[in-house]
Amino acid sequence: MFTGIITDIGRVAALEQSGDMRARIETAYDTSSIDIGASIASDGVCLTVVALGEDWYDVDISAETVSKTNLGSWTVSHKVNLERALKVGDELGGHIVSGHVDGVAEIIGMTIEGDSTRVRFRAPSELARFIAPKGSVALNGTSLTVNEVEGDEFGVNLISHTKEVTNWGQAKIGDRVNLEIDTLARYVARLAEYG
């Protein structure tokens, strides 16, 4: 489990395709405190650490994960939003995030508003019904509040702090981003089907 509060911006140092895709991610985390088998959300995708070095870790990314996320578009030097898994007693500053991406949304608009940027997305239609104004979404692993929803489109506001401490400072129109809908919204919608 995660909170959607990004704690490091990693960098893809190497990519290798043999069976599954393997990525080496450079990080500022103290890798001596990371165990093989640990889960680290990487651009919002819960990935398992399979190898470690002094300032890097490796993850294997299955074809299923590549098909459901934007990780297939990673290139060497890509900046990655990172969050380590929650531990008992950690602050819950964002919202509960599983790291199981539901689909990919596309950035369709960006507008500067003071020091913030309003970003507009198009969600896959089968997921749009789970997105509500003032609800939460995780986009590339970042917990964000939804401002408005119109059909399959929704908007969020990125404050300057978010753009500085995540890879959102490099976002541009046309980017595809990992979307995880709020778990609570998923269960409420499921219950409503049987109500």
CATH of domain 103-194: 2.40.30.20
Burial class (CB in 10 A: 0-12, 13-18, 19+), 44: buried
In the chain, which segments carry CATH 2.40.30.20?
Answer: 8-84, 103-194
Q: Which residues contact 150 (CB under 8 A, 6 or more apart)?
A: none
- pLDDT at residue 114 greater than cutoff 80: yes
3-class DSSP state of 56: strand
Comparing 192 with 141, which gets the higher pLDDT?
Answer: 141
- pLDDT at residue 190 greater than cutoff 80: no
Tens-digit pLDDT profile for residues 143-184:
999 999 999 999 999 999 999 999 999 999 999 999 999 887
Mean pLDDT confidence for 14-20: 92
CA–CA dist 15, 21 (Å, integer)? 7
Q: Confidence band (pLDDT; 50, 70, 90) for 185? A: confident
Beta-bridged to residue 57, according to DSSP, are 25, 52
CA–CA dist 134, 132 (Å, integer)? 6
Spatial contact of 185 and 149, defined as CB atoms under 8 Å apart? no
To the nearest whole number, what is the mean pLDDT of the chain? Answer: 94
Mean pLDDT confidence for 121-131: 95
pLDDT at 28: 98
pLDDT at 121: 98
CA–CA dist 191, 171 (Å, integer)? 35
- pLDDT at residue 90 greater than cutoff 80: no
Q: Confidence band (pLDDT; 50, 70, 90) for 195? A: low
- For 8-84, CATH number out of 3.40.50.300, 2.40.30.10, 2.40.30.20, 3.30.1320.10 equals 2.40.30.20
